[in-house]
Amino acid sequence: MATKSLKARNNDIANTSRQMEILSSGIFANGELPTFAAKIKETGHFPLRPKKLEILQINLGYMCNQVCEHCHVDAGPDRKEIMTVETMQQCLEVIKKTEAHTLDLTGGAPEMNPNFRWFVEEASKAGIKDFIVRSNLTIIRANKKYYDLPEFFKKHNVHVVSSMPHWTRGKTDKQRGEGVFDKSIKALQELNAVGYGMPGSNLKLDLVYNPSGAFLPGDQMALENDFKKALKEDFDIDFHSLFAITNLPISRFLDYLIASENYEDYMHSLLDAYNPEAVKNVMCTNTISISWEGWLFDCDFNQMLNLKVASKVKHVSDYREELLQDRNIIINQHCYGCTAGAGSSCQGVVA
Amino acid sequence: MSKTYYDSSDLRKFGKITEWDEELGNKFFDYYGKVFEEGALTAREKSLIALAVAHTEQCPYCIDAYTKDTLQRGITKEQMMEAIHVGAAIKSGATLVHGVQMMNKVNKLEM
């Protein structure tokens, strides 16, 4: 189990241009597999263009209390990049005037940003319809100062979306670190205690499942049923929906794929599961991702690859939605991760 | 020709069997696909049966395919190993139950 980010380890893969090089060479350069651009051309989806903007996803920083094996953000305790109040203020201006109905706060552990609560309070005043915080759960138990997070989320009617790779301790701790399972269970019980995730409750609690290894997620509905049954029987935990998300071949997961000699097979699996229907609804068509520094991206994954939007507007301080919406979405081979099977996005399957 | 009898990348070429006999190949794949659909048994139960049979048939391609398939369905290592033991128990039982035939024959031949 890693305890440091790739960046802190000076790993080659921490360099985004190196990742782009890997994704463009080998099986994609020699013609064994078609590039993503070639593939979506077959069904007339190239260039990929945005549809109506629905979701603003803001990354409050790469700092995290966990160092998960598969993390595409390469987040961890040693990452110090977090959003400043100035950038948050620029984001608030955007939130006030955006057409988007969903605000999605992510990280790292967004709660570790010292101005997280202030930002949530200000953003909730803007009256956005669905206000998501992506919480890794263990943060709620990490330190006394976070113990009241369930109450805080409830107060602002935040929709909590949490990662939970499996309903068993072994699989969870292997991916996310020793003790993560027990802490996550405790955090879920505390969220349930204030009303989150209960049947019929408007306090929404959804879980995110992503495979702990070089394989794709199975059927979202079947996995949801298995999670619900096991968490209820073993720990009396309730939650609303499960989102099954495919791991994209970037950052720490790419490093793992290469080190374990699974890279080529994994790319083949993504290609074999390619679903043209999913292309129509990939999340980059309805989302704008904002980095901790205020840069704009087509999605969180492009953010991690430092592929800024192909638009005159590249920073939140210059934000102009109508101009931004008139752009081509930047794609590369990692995009196959969002079009496999029933498709994958931060909101679960798309087709 | 390859120097080994099995090559893991051949599994990806399975679909090519239709190239030399399209009708029978397609009929097989249609049938195969239908068998694994959710029915009176869940797709998950079928995957575990397939994993156990993959081992009793000792088909390396099937073992690769259904190990991955069971993992994708969130099936745990413990469940996978138990399924294989079911296959192994039937295999060894099938061997040992023939012991009765051996005993019958001995009883018939011996004075």
B-interface mutation test, from A169, A265, A272, A349, most B Cβ less than 10 A away? A265
CB-based contact (8 Å) between A228 and chain B?
A: no
- CA atoms of B87 and B108, how far apart (whole Å): 33
Q: What is the DSSP string of A167-184?
A: SSHHHHHHHH-TTHHHHH
Q: Residue A227: list chain B partners with CB under 8 A.
A: 74
Say if residue A2's pLDDT is above 70.
no
Q: How close A215 gets to chain B, by Cα (Å)?
A: 6
Say if residue A290's pLDDT is above 90.
yes
Nearest to A341 by CA among A254, A241, A223, A258: A223
φ/ψ of residue A244, rounded to 5: -95, 120
- Residues A335/A267, Cβ–Cβ less than 8 Å: no
Could you give the ipTM of this predicted complex? Answer: 0.79
- CA atoms of B19 and B29, how far apart (whole Å): 13
Say if residue A179's pLDDT is above 60.
yes
Q: For A48-339, CATH number?
A: 3.20.20.70
- Residues A191/A160, Cβ–Cβ less than 8 Å: yes
Q: How close A217 gets to chain B, by Cα (Å)?
A: 5
Q: Splitting chain B (111 residues) into consecutive groups of 10 residues, what average pLDDT does each group show?
A: 86 95 98 96 96 98 96 94 98 98 97 90
Q: What is the pLDDT of residue A178?
A: 86
Its sign, for the CA torsion A274, A277, A280, A281, is negative
**Nearest residue, CB atoms, A215 vs list B12, B43, B68:** B68
Segment A87-145, tens digit of pLDDT = 999 999 999 999 999 999 999 999 999 999 999 999 988 878 899 999 999 999 999 99
Average pLDDT over residues A42-62: 96
CB-based contact (8 Å) between A213 and chain B?
A: yes
- CA atoms of A42 and A102, how far apart (whole Å): 32
Q: Residue A174: which pLDDT band, with cuts at 50, 70 and 90? A: confident
Q: What is the pLDDT of residue A13?
A: 84
Segment A235-253, tens digit of pLDDT = 999 999 999 999 999 999 9
Q: What is the pLDDT of residue A1?
A: 53
- CA atoms of A17 and A36, how far apart (whole Å): 18
Question: How many Cα atoms are found within 13 Å in the side-chain-facing hemisphere of A325?
Answer: 13
Tokens at residue A305, please? 């690859």
- CA atoms of A105 and A124, how far apart (whole Å): 12
Q: What is the pLDDT of residue A342?
A: 86
Q: What is the pLDDT of residue A12?
A: 84
Say if residue A194's pLDDT is above 90.
yes
Whether cis (ω within 30° of 0) applies to the bond prior to A195 is no
Q: Residue B44: list chain A partners with CB under 8 A.
A: 222, 226
Strands A296-297 and A287-290: antiparallel
Nearest chain A residue to B69 by CA: give it.
A218
Averaged pLDDT of chain A: 94
Size of interface A-B (CB pairs under 8 A): 33
Q: Residue A165: which pLDDT band, with cuts at 50, 70 and 90? A: confident
Say if residue A270's pLDDT is above 60.
yes
Average pLDDT over residues A11-33: 92
Average pLDDT over residues A324-342: 96
- CA atoms of B61 and B76, how far apart (whole Å): 20
Tokens at residue B5, please? 């009898």
| Other CB atoms within 10 Å distance of the CB of residue A193 | 11
pTM attached to this predicted model: 0.90
